[in-house]
Amino acid sequence: MILPIILAVYAGPEDRALIERLKRRDPQALAELYDLYGRMAYSLVLRVVRDKAIAEDLVQETFLRVWNRVHSIDAEKGAIGPWLLAVARNRAIDYLRSSEGRDRNVAVEWDETEHAPLYREMEAGILLSDQVRRVKAAMDKLAPNHRTVMELAYFEGLSQSEMSARMGQPLGTIKTWVRTALQSLRDELGVAVSP
Amino acid sequence: MNCDQLREHYELYALGIAEEPERGEIRIHLNRGCEVCGAGVKRALETTALVGATAPPAQPSPQLRRRILASVGSERKTLWWIPVWAVGLATIVLLMILNGSLSSTSARRAREAAQLREQMSVQTAEIARLSEAFAILSGPSTTEASFGGQQPRPPHGKVFVNPSRGVLLIASNLPRTPADKIYEMWIIPKGAKPVPAGLFQSQDDGNAMHVRPGTVDLASTAAVAVTVENQAGADQPTTTPLIVAALAR
């Protein structure tokens, strides 16, 4: 229980070496990657699919995918944790969509958000920092409807149109809720995305 | 659309739920190296990842780590470490399976099969690529052209063009591309714009093999070229070609 946390604290500075070793096909590097992010990826996938056996299968697929595509991430500036989590989320949502018979590509191109070169120059070890707690606190503070749309977007991969249908609310209302929820998160994190 | 109009859509893009036309516009901005959108999307991806990390903590089984390592060939499936009680338990489980007591077995097998298919699909794609390359190389009507002979530290190699099978590029000494770049091959018709012929990366040793299957009109083709482009590729070359193989016809 404690070991992943201890490892996590030191993960940031070692990401570069870890990526290089993964690119050299060092299986021990994959073991270390799993020790750092395996539990987090599993927790995320389980939250999406809500089935332990399926979640484990999807996490295995995630690590295999990262292993097979690690050449595409920048060893110098790449942020392997956020990238791995994006791959895990996409695998889980892809499964969810497929099992629910939802169209997998109506408005969403999942692979686009797991494009490794996008994950560059992020804060080292961001997933292992205090920011996670701050985001969780910010999510808890959201109004119920705002939190619901965030969870539907993140953990179920619903587009705003799909949320509108699911929640029986006009699309304009959903867009407002999403916009407000995102703004609250930005404010909480002090991220100056909007002017 | 300008960057100001896209700001509010960065998070939706990062979540994978941005809709058109904003999604396409953000992609265009990213592909042309827009610093404003690049920074905005990066921050949005950070936030998205942080939201993912807020999922209620759960503990996977200890076997998952072993399965993952075994799937890349790290851990051999030896049995010496299994304690006696585990062998007994496994026997009971096996009997339950045989008795049809585990109703989820077939579903689980299906998922395992899907994983194996994922692994095999990589190998199958490689075999298919090699078969295409071999068909081009061995075709009686294949024309070849060399490149890189006169440069001091050139990427060098050959291009093989078969009118009915496609184009095969074999290159050595290719410099490593930056992480957000990729090689793109072009078929250049006489007196017309280059036609995209696929993206590829070189290996760590600088070697590369790329196949563009399909028909090629040799009579109207002047050359095959390679440029370095953004990861998504380009419709037309945006950099000076580092390989140009002129077809002598």
Mean pLDDT, each 10-residue run in order, chain A (195 residues): 36 71 88 92 94 92 88 77 89 83 50 66 66 83 92 89 92 92 81 38
∠A115-A101-B232 over CA atoms, to 5°?
Answer: 20
Confidence at B27, pLDDT banded by 50, 70, 90: confident
Q: Which residues of A touch B54 (CB under 8 A)?
A: 132, 135-136, 139
Bridge-based pairing state of the strands B181-189 and B243-246: unpaired
pLDDT of B156: 85
Is A143 strand, coil or helix? coil
pTM of the model: 0.58
Centre a 10 Å sphere on the Cβ of residue A25 and count the other Cβ atoms it contains. 13
Does B45 contact A122 at a Cβ distance shorter than 8 Å?
yes
User: Among A67-81, A136-150, B2-16, B182-196, whose mean pLDDT is lowest?
Assistant: A67-81
Q: Answer yes or no: are the C-beta atoms of B108 and A52 closer than 8 Å.
A: no
Q: Which residue in B146, B119, B127, B112 sits closest to B211, CA to CA?
A: B127
Q: Average pLDDT of chain B?
A: 79
Q: What is the DSSP letter of B9?
A: G
The full set of domains in chain B, from first to last, is 3-52 (no CATH), 143-246 (2.60.40)
**Which residue is listed with tokens 């295409």?**
B132
Does A193 contact B7 at a Cβ distance shorter than 8 Å?
yes
pLDDT of A6: 33
CATH 3.40.50.150 fits A130-195, yes or no: no
Q: Which residue in B93, B91, B120, B125 sits closest to B108, CA to CA?
A: B93
pLDDT of A34: 93
Domain boundaries defined on chain A:
1-126, 130-195
Closest Cβ–Cβ partner in B17, B51, B59 for A159: B17
Q: How close A9 comes to chain B (CA, Å)?
A: 15
Class (C level, CATH) for A1-126: mainly alpha
Chain mean position to CA A86: 4
- Separation of alpha carbons A125 and A98, rounded Å: 32
Asked if the domains A1-126 and A130-195 are classified in one and the same CATH topology, the answer is no
- Report, as an integer, the average pLDDT of B155-172: 89
User: Which residues are CB-neighbours of A22 under 8 A, at least 6 positions away?
Assistant: A29, A30, A33, A66, A67, A70, A80
What value of ipTM does the predicted structure carry? 0.80
Does A193 contact B40 at a Cβ distance shorter than 8 Å?
yes
Length in residues, chain B: 249
Q: Answer yes or no: are the C-beta atoms of A164 and A170 closer than 8 Å.
A: yes
Is B182 strand, coil or helix? strand
Does A160 contact B4 at a Cβ distance shorter than 8 Å?
no
